[in-house]
Chain A
């Protein structure tokens, strides 16, 4: 499949916001989220011609972003504890856009408390951009597993929300 600049522009218009949201939910900071989103489109510009089915481009973009994030995290795990602490101190507690929209910050905080196994499928579910079948393809897990992880993630989420309402969290 060849990539014209119109196709590319359309794909950016269509998906970059939700890709950024997904990246932000994973990376938790604006700088890395922007980098992941840009890197995803750059990879598409270089390799997108290998995708035969145009319908699969959207989930390909999300898959690529997720893999880029996993790669980045593996690299970051090599950073020493001391460096990590310094890094955290130097990072803003939240990006300006998110502070401005406190609801988004609260939602991310809430999702962040969910077991990581359930968090990523749940975030993709809430972003509403991908069907559960596409989520399965993005995370490379069976469809049934996606459904059970979403259900378990939501159970955890409800528990957290109930505790929050009672003021015990």
Chain B
């Protein structure tokens, strides 16, 4: 390492942090120790860094921010325990049992009223992004055991035959799909969602969600799969006829692509959301 390289590296060096044990900085510091000019520059550089760091520490969060974070999250984690995706912000006074029970009664009455008059408006807030977010959240929930997952071949066959039943078209027989086919019917804040659980040869979990596109506003049209990486979850979404499909997997887009191919969907090279 020459002086120029060492200087470039030492620009990122912060004494008193983990940098002290990082081999790249240790080596650059050795170079600086044998070069008085570089050492002088380093001292001046550190002094400027300390001044700016100290100044930035003067930015103080507003009073009450911490409590507000804790209040909001408390409500959110309670919802999560009940396996319902939480998306909306709730003020803390909602947490009182009386308010919650009143709100639940009111919500039930409104739901019944809306369902009777306009059955599809309850899903108006759902769009592809929100569905992908919820699919991502669901992967953190307990999954059915391997024996209760659909085989890829059966799933592929069903997809090819457009044979993944939707709520609006399910027959009496389809409502009794055996547990071994990895089928679960979910209710996401009023949106009916069909979920098929399966795995690859390594036993890694995949979820395929099927949603009636006509219940969404606007109705999505995604002829070829679009891919999205959300933290440690990789997702793909596409539509076929009036159905929106979302494939979710804990991994990367690269590990999701072979499964897309396996179930008969051509994985795109660069179409990301």
Chain A interface (Cβ < 8 Å from any Cβ of B): 3, 5, 8-9, 12-13, 16-17, 20-21, 24-25, 30, 33-34, 37-38, 41-42, 44-47, 49-52, 60, 95, 97-98, 100-101, 103-104, 106-108, 110-111, 123, 125-128, 131-132, 146-148, 150-151, 154, 157-158, 161
Q: Decide: A37 near B14, CB < 8 A? Known: A3-B77, A127-B56.
A: no
Shortest Cβ gap from A12 to chain B (Å)? 6
B70 at the interface (CB under 8 A from A): yes
List 10 additional contacts besides A45-B72, A50-B139, A126-B49; criterion CB under 8 Å. A5-B77, A9-B70, A16-B69, A17-B60, A45-B73, A45-B77, A50-B137, A101-B58, A126-B56, A131-B18
Residues in chain B near residue A24, CB distance under 8 A? 59
Main secondary structure of the interface of B (DSSP, over half): helix
In this complex, the member of A12, A52, A110, A148 whose beta carbon has the largest number of chain B beta carbons within 10 angstroms is A12
Using known A-B contacts A131-B19, A147-B9, A161-B48, determine if residue A34 contacts B53 with beta carbons closer than 8 Å.
no
Query: Which residue of chain B has the shortest Cβ distance to A151 in the bound complex?
Result: B11
Give how many A-B residue pairs fall within 8 Å (CB-CB): 146
How far, in angstroms, from A30 to B18 measured CA to CA in the complex? 30
With both beta carbons as reference points, the residue of chain A lying nearest to B233 in the complex is identified as A50
- Contact of B250 with A by CB under 8 A: yes
B66 within 8 A of A: yes
Residues 69-84 of chain B, each 1 if its beta carbon lies under 8 Å from chain A, else 0: 1101110110010000
B53 touches A126 (CB 8 A): yes
Give A16 to B67 CA distance when docked, in angstroms.
11
Contacts of B86 in A (CB 8 A): 45-46
Interfacial residues of chain B within 134-162, with CB under 8 A of chain A in the complex: 136-137, 139-140
Q: Taking beta carbons and an 8 Å cutoff, which residues of B are in contact with A?
A: 8-9, 11-12, 14, 17-19, 22, 45, 48-49, 52-62, 65-66, 68-70, 72-74, 76-77, 80, 85-87, 89, 136-137, 139-140, 230-233, 250
Q: How far is the CB of B224 from chain A (nearest CB, A)?
A: 24
Contact residues in B for A5 (Cβ distance below 8 Å): 74, 77
Give every chain A residue within 8 A of B49 (Cβ-Cβ): 126
By CB atoms of chain B within 10 A, which of A24, A103, A150, A161 has the most?
A103
Residues of B with C-beta under 8 A to A21: 56-57, 59, 61
With CB as the reference atom, state the residue of chain A lying closest to B63. A97
- B184 → chain A, closest Cβ, in Å? 19
Given contacts A38-B69, A47-B136, A50-B233, contact A103 B11 (CB under 8 A): no
| Docked CA distance A52–B70 (Å) | 22
CB nearest neighbor in A for B67: A12
| Residues of A with C-beta under 8 A to B14 | 125, 128
With known contacts A21-B59, A37-B69, A45-B73, A154–B140 Cβ distance under 8 A: no
